[in-house]
Amino acid sequence: MTRPGENEVGQGRGSERRGGERGGGERRGGERREGGRRFEPPLGEALEALEAAGFGEAEVYAKRGRSRRLVLATGRRGASYHQEAGWAVRASTDRASLFTTATGDLPADPTAGGHLLGGLLDTDTADGLPLALPRPDAVPRAAARWKEPSDYETPLVGETEGLRMLDALERELISEVPKARLLGAWLEDGSSDSRLANHHGVAGRWRLRVAVLRAEAALGTTRTSLELAAREARRLGPAAVARQLADRLVAAAAESSFTGRDRAEVILAPALAARLLAALTPMLVGPGAAQRAAVLADPKGRLASGAVTVIDDGRLDDGVLAAPVDGEGLPTRRVVLVEGGVFRGPLVSWRAARDAERRDTAGGRRRQGVGRGVQPAACSRRASWRDLPETAPSHLYLAADPEVRAGELVADLARGYYLVAATAAPRIDWGGGTSGGTFRVPVIGYTVRQGRAQGPLSGVSLTGTLATLLGGVRAAARDLTFFPYDGMVGAPTLRVSGLELRARG
C-alpha cells in the first residue's frame, strides 16, 4: 500500500505492456501486483475485474472529500457541511472505450451494478476508439522528492469561526467605504483524498486542502467581485480582502477625468497581471501553444523582455493545488515555459506530445525553432470525480524579483497609472496565427504623478499588441500572488511600458 510521502508513482515492468494485452497481473491477499507494483484494495481488485470483463486498458480512480461552506448573501446567512465520495473508470477494449462515474466507494467489481461496463462490449455501442492511458515513464520524473505538506489534517474552519470571518469582512468593508454594500460572501474550506491506478502500473495518491473565498460588493450601482484561494480558510484575512474590495469599488465608482488615449507607463497590480497571464494560457499550455508563441518569438525564441520568466509548478511549496502526481497519476514537476524572455516550450501532456511526435513522424518532419524538443509534463487535472482529466496548469506564474518591493515600482513612476484590476475578461485577438495578436482589457485604477496615487481611473481599457505587453515588462516586484482561474495563476506587481490606455465610449 502506498503511503503519502513515499514513492507515489509506479515505475515497474508494467510500463512495457501494450494496450489491449490481457493478464500479466498477479494477485495476493486482496492486493494486485502489476509489473512489480502493488495496488491497494480495492483499486487492484477493480482493475482485475475490468480485465476479466475484457477491458485491456483500464484506469480506476476514487475520491473522498469533505468541506464546509459559509454564506452571507441577500436574504441568506448559513452554513453547510458536505461529504463527497465518488469514483470513475476509464476503460477500453481494442474497439471501444468508455468513462463511467458514480457516487460512493469504488466497488471491487465496477462491472457489476449496471454501470454500463458490460453493455459497452455490445457491438451496437462500440465506438471504434480504443483509449490510451499513460505508462509510468510517460513524463520525466521530478528532480525533487515530494514532501507532503503538514496541513492536510488541519480541521476545517468551524461554522461560527467562518461566519465571523464573513461578518468581519462586511464590517471592514463598510468601515473602509461607509456606503458600500456586501452583496454576498462565500467561503468554502475543504480537503480531499484521491487514489488512482491503471493497468500499466501507474498508481498515485494525492490529497488537497483548498479554501476559496468569493465576495461581491456594490457602491451605488457599481459592482465588483474578488475571488481568492489558500490552503486554509484561516489564511484568508477578512481585513485584507475588504481593503481590496474597497479599492476596486472606489476606483470603479468614481468619475474619471480620463479622456482620449495615453501611452504612459503602467503598473499592473498582481490581480490584473495574473488575469492577463491567465488569458495568455493558449500560448503557454496545450498542443496549439507552440504555434501561437512562434508567431511572437524571434528566431532565438525571445518573445518577452528579460524580466519575464513563466513557470508551472505542480509541486509549488505551499501551493493550493500542490500534489505529487497529476490527475492521471504521473509525477508532477516544475516546468519553465519562458526563461528570461526566451520561450522554452509549452506545457503539454504526454498525450499531446505523443500525438505531435506521431504527426511529425508520419509527415517526415523535424520540428525547428520555438517549442522544439518539448518534454511532456504531468499536467492533467480532474475538476472532480465526475470529470475526465483535462490539460491545465496547476500553478502557472510569472516569477517575482525578490529584490524589488511593489512600492518601489510605484514610487519610481514620474507619470503613469497604477491599474488594480480588470472589470471584465481580457479579449485576446490571436491574429489568426499569422500576426502577433492584440489584447484589450477594461481596467480600473489610479493616476500616478511623481510616485503618488492621484485621482481614480475608470471607464478605460488597456490595449496593445501581445508583443508590446510581453516585451514591455520593465520590472517585476516580489509580491507574487495567486488567484484561482483555470488552475492557480500568479503574478507579482509589474511595471510595463508601451501599452495604451483608451477611454471607453
Residues that bind other proteins (CB under 8 A): 71-86, 90-92, 96-104, 111-120, 122, 124-131, 167, 170-171, 174, 181-183, 218, 221, 223, 386, 388, 423-424, 427, 440-442, 461, 504-505
CB of 119 to other proteins, least distance (A): 3
What sign does the CA torsion over 251, 257, 261, 262 have? negative
Q: Give 227 or 232: the residue with its C-beta nearer to other proteins.
A: 227
For other proteins, the closer of residues 85 and 294 by Cβ is 85
Alpha-carbon distances of 132 from 19, 95, 329, 375, 480, rounded to whole Å: 7, 12, 14, 19, 38
Nearer to other proteins, 114 or 373 (CB): 114
Q: How far is the CB of 457 from other proteins (least distance, A)?
A: 14
**Grid coordinates of 23:** 493478464
Closest listed residue to residue 13, CA positions, set 34, 28, 43: 34
The Cα 343–Cα 122 span in angstroms is 48
Computed on alpha carbons and rounded to an integer, the radius of gyration of the chain in Å comes to 25
Residue 226 beta carbon to other proteins: minimum distance, rounded to whole angstroms? 16
SS3 readout for 352-393: HHHHHHHHHHHHCCCCCCCCCCCCCCCCEECCCCCCCCEECC
Which is closer to other proteins, CB of 93 or CB of 465?
A: 93
Residue 103 φ/ψ, nearest 5 degrees:
-75, 165
Cβ proximity to other proteins: between 36 and 220 the closer is 220
Identify the three-state secondary structure at position 276: helix
Please choose, from the candidates 312, 147, 161, 321, the residue with its C-alpha nearest in 3D space to the C-alpha of residue 230.
Answer: 321
Residue closer to other proteins by CB (options 19, 41) is: 19
Name residue 208's beta-bridge partners: 192
Question: What is the rounded distance in angstroms from the CA atom of residue 490 to the CA atom of residue 322?
Answer: 14
Nearer to other proteins, 26 or 84 (CB): 84
**Minimum distance of other proteins from residue 354's CB (angstroms):** 14
Give min distance, CB of 14 to other proteins, in A.
21
Report the alpha-carbon distance of residue 256 to residue 420 in Å, rounded. Answer: 15
- Residue 389 CB, shortest distance to other proteins, in Å, is 11
Q: Which helix (H) or strand (E) holds 198?
A: strand 181-198
Other CB atoms within 10 A of residue 108 CB? 15
| Contact of 24 with 17, CB cutoff 8 Å | yes
> C-beta of 65: minimal distance to other proteins in Å?
9
Minimum distance from CB of 482 to other proteins (Å)?
21
Minimal distance in Å, beta carbon 190 to other proteins?
A: 11
Residue 167 or 193: the one with the smaller Cβ distance to other proteins is: 167
CB nearer to other proteins: give 418 or 439: 439
Separation of first and last alpha carbons in the chain? 63
Give 204 or 442: the residue with its C-beta nearer to other proteins: 442
CA separation for the pair 285, 376 (Å, rounded): 11
Give the DSSP letter of residue 309.
-
Nearest approach, Cβ of 398 to other proteins (angstroms)? 23
Q: Smallest distance, Å, CB 24 to other proteins?
A: 23
Write the burial class of residue 16 (CB in 10 Å: 0-12 exposed, 13-18 middle, 19+ buried): middle
Task: State in angstroms the smallest separation of the CB of 76 from other proteins.
Answer: 6
190 within 8 A of 67, measured Cβ to Cβ: yes
CA distance 502 to 182: 30
Q: Which is nearer to other proteins, 125 or 454 (CB)?
A: 125
User: For residues 405 and 478, what is the distance between their CA atoms, to the nearest angstrom?
Assistant: 6
Please enumerate in sequence order all residues whose Cβ is within 8 A of that of 52, keeping only pairs 6 or more positions apart, or say none: none
Q: Which is nearer to other proteins, 145 or 386 (CB)?
A: 386
Contact 426, 279 (CB under 8 A): yes
